[in-house]
Amino acid sequence: MASTSADKLFSLSGLFAVYKPKGPTSANLLNHLKAKLLAEAGVQEVVRKRKKPSLKIGHGGTLDSAASGVLVVGIGKGTKLLGSLLAGSKKYTAIGELGKATDTLDATGKVTEEKPYDQVTKGDLEKVLQKFTGDIMQVPPLCSALKKDGQRLSCLMKKGVAVEAKPARPVSVYNLSLQNFQPPLFTLDVECGGGFYVRSLVSDIGKELSSCASVRELTRTKHGPFTLEEHTLHEDKWTIDEIARSLDNCMSLLPEEPSHKKLKIEHSGESAVSCEDK
């Protein structure tokens, strides 16, 4: 039975989506998923040995530990498709808080500044959003998965190392709308391209309003064709059979390209393990 389960696990190939709750990093969640699948298949992880197959798995873009929502996972040769998702469209729902800035630009950080926000109206906020729609320049957060000298900025900050801001870079915002405004809280729906940071957006909005702001809650509601409501597997569905069914559904949503057609049924003979954030 274990052998049959293992054969099925190592034959899985393609993309599917899981639900990431608040708390774990994207990499930790992926390691947990991988451990559950290997345990179900009765396979012990092989480290740095090429005599036996190892489960190849990766994700299509880091979701902050404080954020929840869609995390796209590649398994087997499906990991080769993850690069295209990094540059693809994503949708988020963000709750921002006016009048409070933190060193991480979200609720997990230390408060670094507090400013009045009573003067801000719904009309002011809607007007400011227009400045952040389209192709814009954005400075990434100091606390992020971006790296300096091979180490993540977020890790350096936790060690107390002084971190310099990365230069502004071009990003795309396809749609940006205000869904709710109950000061100091405001809710945004954001559709953006790769490399975009919602935390930076909320912080910049606060500055434009002559105040400050940080993210209270962040949810990724869509990544590429995969939506939170229709395609994400919660942890109770992290089984070999459920993922096989999800692969059939999710792979049918991708554009038909020669590299996609055989991914679901091919055996992956590769031994590398890709569990790092992309």
In tens, the pLDDT along 81-105 reads: 998 877 679 999 999 999 999 999 9
The pLDDT assigned to 257 comes to: 59
The question of whether 7 is a catalytic residue gets the answer no
> Average pLDDT over the chain, rounded to whole?
85
**CATH 3.30.2350.10 domain span(s) along the chain:** 90-223
Cis bond upstream, residue 53 (ω within 30) = no
Average pLDDT over residues 240-245: 97
The pLDDT assigned to 150 comes to: 55
The pLDDT assigned to 57 comes to: 96
* pLDDT greater than 80 at residue 3: no
**221 CB contacts (<8 Å, ≥6 apart)?**
69, 70, 91, 92, 93, 227, 228
Q: How confident is the model at residue 277 (pLDDT cuts 50, 70, 90)?
A: very low
Tens of pLDDT, residues 119-128: 999 999 999 9
Q: How confident is the model at residue 276 (pLDDT cuts 50, 70, 90)?
A: very low
Q: List the catalytic residue out of 7, 64, 204, 248.
A: 64
**Considering only 96-110, 138-152, 254-268, which range has the smallest mean pLDDT?**
254-268
Q: What is the 3-state secondary structure (H, E, C) of the chain?
A: CHHHHHHHHHHCCEEEEEEECCCCCHHHHHHHHHHHHHHHHCCCCCCCCCCCCCCCEEECCCCCCCCEEEEEEEEHHHHHHHHHHHCCCEEEEEEEEECEEECCCECCCCEEEECCCCCCCHHHHHHHHHHHCEEEEECCCCCCCCEECCEEHHHHHHCCCCCCCCCCEEEEEEEEEEEEEECCEEEEEEEECCCCCHHHHHHHHHHHCCCCEEEEEEEEEEECCEEHHHHEECHHHCCHHHHHHHHHHHHCCCCCCHHHHCCCCCCCCCCCCCCCCC
Among candidate residues 44, 17, 51, 55, the one with its CA nearest the CA of residue 250: 17
* pLDDT greater than 50 at residue 267: no
**Considering only 8-22, 32-46, 139-153, 206-220, which range has the smallest mean pLDDT?**
139-153
The pLDDT assigned to 258 comes to: 44
CB atoms within 10 A of CB 111: 12
The pLDDT assigned to 204 comes to: 97
- Interhelix angle 26-41/240-251, rounded to 10 degrees, is 120
Q: Hey, what CATH topology would domain 90-223 get?
A: Pseudouridine synthase (3.30.2350)
Average pLDDT over residues 185-203: 96
The pLDDT assigned to 54 comes to: 81
Question: In percent, how much of the chain has pLDDT > 70?
Answer: 78
